[in-house]
């Protein structure tokens, strides 16, 4: 089973970016934890990060062809990218939206996700655990689909 993990804009700065909001863990550490959990769950995990909307869309399309599910932290695109939303809706595999911070307890504009209505689910506010739970959900949604 192949799972794509997509990190959106500014997540390459994890560790130094607003650590009071996003913690001190680097993106490399997040990816390592995901690879480790993937190994335990019997899934191959491929992680990608880009600050560019078009690259995230291209990886979603690739995942739709090659992978069983996606975990995505769309960063600020969460709140306004209809192009990303359309890509999530188009791919036909489960997509789990994750956020490190609790987007519902922050500024008003972060409370709205244009991705959530087309995602299989949203996990927010648990730091690294948001990603790890997202990966567990992705594997379990993908297995359900395999069995039906």
User: Using CA atoms, how far apart are residues 58 and 147, in angstroms rounded to an integer?
Assistant: 28
Q: Catalytic annotation on 61?
A: no
Quickly list DSSP for 116-131: GGGSSEEEES-THHHH
Q: Catalytic annotation on 77?
A: no
By the rule CB under 6 A, 10 interacts with ligand DQA? yes
Query: Using CB under 6 A, which of 57, 100, 132, 142 touches ligand DQA?
Result: 100
Kindly tell me which of 56 and 100 has the beta carbon lying closer to ligand DQA: 100
DSSP SS3 for 17: coil
Q: Which two tokens stand for residue 126?
A: 């648990």
By the rule CB under 6 A, 46 interacts with ligand DQA? no
DSSP SS3 for 18: coil
Binding site for ligand DQA (CB under 6 A): 10, 73, 75-76, 78, 99-101, 103, 110
Residues forming the active site: 22, 99
């Amino acid at each position: 089973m192949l799972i794509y993990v997509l990190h959106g804009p500014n997540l390459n700065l994890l560790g130094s970016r607003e650590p009071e909001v996003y913690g001190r863990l680097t993106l490399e550490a997040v990816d390592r934890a995901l690879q480790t959990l993937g190994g335990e769950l019997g899934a191959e995990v491929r992680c990608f990060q880009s600050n560019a909307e078009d690259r995230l869309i291209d990886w979603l399309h690739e995942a739709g062809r090659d992978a069983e599910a996606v975990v995505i932290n769309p960063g600020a695109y969460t709140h306004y990218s209809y192009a990303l939303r359309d890509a999530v809706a188009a791919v036909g595999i489960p997509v789990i939206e994750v956020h490190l911070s609790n987007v519902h307890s922050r500024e008003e504009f972060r409370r709205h996700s244009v991705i959530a209505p087309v995602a299989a689910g949203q996990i927010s506010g648990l730091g690294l655990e948001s990603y790890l739970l997202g990966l567990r959900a992705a594997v379990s949604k993908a297995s359900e689909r395999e069995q039906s």
